[in-house]
């Protein structure tokens, strides 16, 4: 297959590129804004037709959750409009699209893991634009697979793990929120799951993917410091209201992975094992 990867310079896009070497049966077109502007419908149609694209993995998104509150127009363009353009273009070729979405389509008031059939109820501009993106992609392409993920980190780009390691080395004390719980996702594990779906054959629908387990941001930070060997920084637990942010965040955003595991035969790693793997790579 000829596969278009958008957002190739992001965390997931970079991990996808590394795994392409292990899946040489396909031809990949790795693009970011310099190679393909996904807000330009004509450019997308031309690219998809000219390169005879069979499938798209859309890793591109506006992910600055707090900035999104003041940049609704740009956030909507990247998270809602652009995915619909991609879906419409690949539908003309009878192809498939994998759209990466988020736990932020839920407001986090549940107390049991979110399943794919739960009614979305976003509580932020970011979450609302990502939900609208899901609906648009499904509307314009029959073979649509949506993967909602959460708390993404990797060795690439800016993310929570790298920030906590840096701050842990720089500061004697840190305050981190303890009353928001979810599950971290190592972007490499998500990329492995995406390739499993591609190689088995896309089964359209909505899926949830994060690593296994449940943890708070506070406990996640403690684990990051322990594994990274940081002993000089005291981490204090904070209530959400002690650390106000422009965007509301879900207090509980654990995702149930049963559907993706059963459909594609995927084994999902435990969050701490994947975190340790990532930190070893960061050290190297």
Which of 126, 207, 252, 264 is catalytic? The answer is: 126
Q: Give residues with Cβ within 8 angstroms of 5, minimum separation 6.
A: 13, 16, 17, 28, 29, 30, 31, 56, 57, 59
Mean pLDDT over 53-66 rounds to: 96
pLDDT at 13: 97
Residue (of 196, 159, 260) closest to 57 by Cα position:
196
Question: Rounded mean pLDDT of 242-246?
Answer: 91
**29: closest CA among 68, 55, 67?**
55
DSSP state for residue 15 in the 8-state scheme: H
Reply yes or no on whether 126 is catalytic.
yes
Average pLDDT on 196-221 reads 98
Q: Using an 8 Å Cβ cutoff, are 209 and 149 in contact? A: yes
Contacts of 270 (CB under 8 A, 6+ apart): 211, 212, 213
User: Percentage of the chain surpassing pLDDT 70?
Assistant: 100
Q: Over the stretch 126-169, which tens digit does the pLDDT of each residue have?
A: 999 999 999 999 999 999 999 999 999 999 999 999 999 999 99
């Amino acid at each position: 297959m000829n596969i278009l990867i958008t957002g190739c310079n992001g965390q997931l896009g970079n991990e996808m590129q590394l795994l392409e070497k292990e899946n040489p049966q396909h031809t990949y077109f790795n693009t970011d804004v310099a190679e393909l502007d996904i807000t330009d419908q004509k450019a997308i149609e031309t690219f998809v037709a000219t390169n005879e694209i069979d499938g798209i993995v859309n890793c591109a998104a506006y992910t600055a959750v707090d900035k999104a509150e003041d940049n609704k127009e740009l956030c909507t363009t990247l998270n809602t409009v652009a995915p619909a353009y991609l879906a419409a273009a690949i539908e003309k070729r009878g192809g498939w699209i994998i759209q990466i979405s988020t736990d932020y389509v839920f407001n986090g008031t549940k107390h049991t893991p979110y399943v794919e059939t739960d009614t979305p109820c976003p509580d932020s501009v970011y979450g609302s634009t990502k939900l609208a993106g899901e609906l648009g992609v499904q509307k314009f392409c029959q073979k649509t697979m949506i993967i909602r993920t959460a708390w993404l980190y990797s060795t690439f780009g800016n993310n929570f793990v790298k920030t906590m390691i840096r701050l842990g080395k720089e500061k004697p004390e840190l305050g981190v929120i303890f009353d928001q719980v979810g599950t971290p996702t190592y972007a490499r594990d998500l990329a492995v799951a995406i390739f499993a779906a591609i190689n088995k054959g896309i089964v359209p629908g909505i899926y949830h993917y994060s690593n296994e387990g449940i943890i708070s941001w506070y406990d996640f930070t403690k684990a990051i410091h322990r594994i990274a060997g940081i002993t000089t920084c005291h981490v204090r637990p904070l209530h959400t209201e002690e650390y106000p942010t422009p965007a509301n965040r879900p207090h509980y955003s654990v995702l149930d992975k049963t559907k993706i595991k059963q459909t594609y035969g995927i084994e999902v790693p435990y969050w701490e094992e994947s975190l340790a793997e990532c930190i070893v790579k960061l050290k190297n």
